[in-house]
């Protein structure tokens, strides 16, 4: 007797994705294991580290704290969806490369999701506002310094008209 499956249909990175999943499958496991979008990472599964951050209906959330079945009809954007369709990095992603705002890359998708959400609502954030926006994303490699630099650089570049 196998586990009961529930239908779920949600838009992920602009594409409608439909599946039948166990109710206890979290959104992050759905993204990674069912949809094979492995850019979103699992760090703690109890909502603290932020490595699992995705954009849900326009707002950054922890995907380990939701069950996939809850998101029927919703729209999710992952790090893969923040990359340009041709695979080239966005202005924000490029700024992370320019400022070397990462090392092992594990917290990076979550950091970029949080930064992206910040810049959407606050295009010229102060350092304090940047630190607050990424305050729920833990990093053990960078000490956050070059991440802050990256977000500031992205803000500058976007203001200069980079797309």
Partner 1 sequence: MSGYKYIGTKRRTKEDPRFVTGRGHYVADIALPGMKHVALVTSPHASARIKAIRTDKALAMPGVHYALTGEELCANVDPLYVGVDAPKVARYPLARGVVRYAGEWVVAVVADSRALAEDAAERIEIDYEPTDYVLDPEKAILPGAVLVHPEHGSNILYRRTFTWGPVAEDFAKAEHKLAFRVRWGRSATVPIETFGIAAQWDPGTQLLDIWASIQMPKYPDQLAKALRLPGNNVRVHFDVDVGGSYGVKRGIKHTVLVGYLAMKLRLPVRFIEDRLENMRGGDMHGPDRSFDMQVAFDTDGTIHSLKIRAIDDVGAYAGRSPLQLGKPIGAIVGPYRITSVEYEPISVLTNKTAQEAVRGFGQAPTNYAIESAVDRVARHLGMDRIELRKKNFITKDQFPYLIPSGSTYDSGDYHTVLDKALKAVDFASLLAARDDARKAGRLAGVGIATCLEPSGGNSAFEPLFNPKNETTTWMDSCLVRVDISGAITGVMNTSTAGQGHETLVSTVLGEILERDPDTIRVVHADSLNALPSNSPVGSRMAIMLGGAAAGAAKKVKAALMAIAAHNLGVAEEGLEYRDGNITAKADPKKSLSWDQLVEIAHRKFHKLPAGLEPGLQAKFVWEVPTGGGLPTADGRIQMYPCYSFEAHLVLVEVDPATAQPKILRYLCGHDCGTMINPAIVHGMTYGGIAHGIGAALYEKFAFSDNGQLASQTFMDYLMPSALEVPAIDIVDHCTPSPLTEFGQKGSGEAGYLGAPAAIANAINDALHPIGASIDELPMTPLAIWTQLQGGRTP
Partner 2 sequence: MQCIIDAMKAAPFEYTRVSTLAEACELLSEHGGDAKLIAGGQSLVPMMAMRLARPAWLVDINRLEELKHVEVRDDALVVGATVRQCVIERNADAIRSLPLMNRALKWVGHVQTRNRGTVGGSIVHADPSAEIPLVACVLDATLVLQDASGQSEVSAREFFFAPMVTAIAPEQCLAEIRFPVWKAARLGCSFEEVSIRHGDFALVSACAQVALDADGKCTQAALGIGGASPFPHALPEIGAMLEGKVLDEMLIEDAATAAADLIDPDGDLHATAEYRRFLARMLALRVLKAATEDALKKAAK
Q: Which positions lie near partner 1, rule CB under 8 A? A: 1-3, 22, 24-25, 32-33, 36-46, 48-49, 51, 78-80, 83, 87, 89, 93-94, 96-100, 102-109, 112, 127, 130-132, 134-148
Closest CA to 6 of 66, 64, 54, 72: 72
Ramachandran assignment for 162, one of left (phi > 0), alpha (psi -120 to 50 degrees), beta (any other): beta
Shortest Å, Cβ 155 to partner 1: 16
Q: State the chain's maximal CA–CA distance in angstroms.
A: 59
Closest listed residue to residue 119, CA positions, set 142, 144, 153: 153
Decide whether 2 or 88 has the Cβ nearer to partner 2: 2
* Mode of pairing for the β-strands spanning 59-62 and 53-56: antiparallel
**Cα 149-155-160 angle, rounded to 5 deg:** 125
For partner 2, the binding residues in 17-46 under the rule CB under 8 A are 22-24, 26, 45-46
Which residue, 71 or 115, has its beta carbon nearer to partner 1? Answer: 115
> Looking at beta carbons only, is 140 or 159 nearer to partner 1?
140
Is 129 a binding residue for partner 2 by CB under 8 A? The answer is: no
What distances in angstroms separate CA 69 from CA 2, 9, 49, 74, 127, one per listed residue? 18, 8, 23, 10, 37
When CB distances are held under 5 to 8 angstroms depending on the partner's kind, the choice from partner 1, partner 2, none that residue 138 binds is partner 1
Which residues lie near partner 2 (CB under 8 A)?
3-4, 6, 22-24, 26, 45-47, 50, 53, 56, 59-62, 64-67, 69-70, 72, 114, 117, 132-133, 135-136
């Amino acid at each position: 007797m196998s586990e009961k499956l529930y239908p779920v249909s949600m838009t992920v990175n602009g594409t409608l994705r439909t599946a039948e999943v166990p109710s206890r499958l979290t959104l992050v496991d759905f993204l990674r294991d069912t949809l094979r979008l492995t850019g979103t990472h699992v760090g703690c599964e109890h909502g603290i580290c932020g490595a699992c951050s995705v954009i849900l209906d326009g707002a950054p959330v922890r995907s380990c704290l939701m069950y996939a079945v809850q998101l029927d009809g919703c729209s999710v954007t992952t790090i893969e969806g923040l990359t340009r369709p041709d695979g080239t990095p966005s202005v924000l992603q490029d700024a992370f490369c320019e400022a070397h705002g990462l090392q092992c890359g594990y917290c990076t998708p979550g950091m970029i999701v949080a930064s992206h959400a910040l810049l959407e609502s606050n295009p010229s954030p102060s350092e304090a506002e940047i630190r607050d926006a990424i305050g729920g994303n833990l990093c053990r490699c960078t000490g956050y310094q070059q991440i802050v630099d990256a977000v500031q650089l992205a803000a500058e570049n976007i203001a200069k008209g980079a797309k």
